[in-house]
Amino acid sequence: MQQKRNIKLGIINYLILINLLISFSFSVAQESKNTLVEINVLDKVSSKNTILKLNIGEEKKFQNLLIKVLKCENSKFDDDPEITAYIQVKDLNLSDNEKVFIFNGWTFSSSPTLNPFDHPVYDLWLSSCKTI
């Protein structure tokens, strides 16, 4: 009798745990989909500045660049918050090795030269990271 009761309680605890894990993963996925990242792109040849707006995980093509933001964070410790983002950029004109990123790393809004994006035609820097 006691064994059947323990089995029922174990099943109930297991179902509660599964429900919590599913709801947590859904909230994390919703949070990343609702984050809008703004990146400024400067065409060095024409001197035109363009603002790209991307969601986390979304790839956007700009001229011959393919840009994807994987993570974006606003610091919560300063009066002047630091914005950081993990960005991947591919140059679509490079046909010899399409799997290599020309930029793959963290970038910082206040110090874009800390981990610079180095391209002969384009320059990009992070402007904002907003949760919508």
Query: What pLDDT digit, counting tens, does each position of 90-102 carry?
Result: 888 876 665 678 8
HSE toward the beta carbon, residue 79, CA cutoff 13 A = 0
pTM: predicted TM-score of the whole model, two decimal places:
0.68
For residues 96 and 48, which has the higher predicted lDDT (pLDDT)? 48
Yes or no: say if 129 and 39 are a contact pair by the CB < 8 Å rule.
Answer: no
CA distance 33 to 30: 5
Where do the DSSP E strands lie in 10-118?
A: 35-43, 48-55, 59-62, 65-74, 83-91, 103-108
The full set of domain ranges for the chain reads 1-33, 36-131
pLDDT at residue 53 in the model: 93
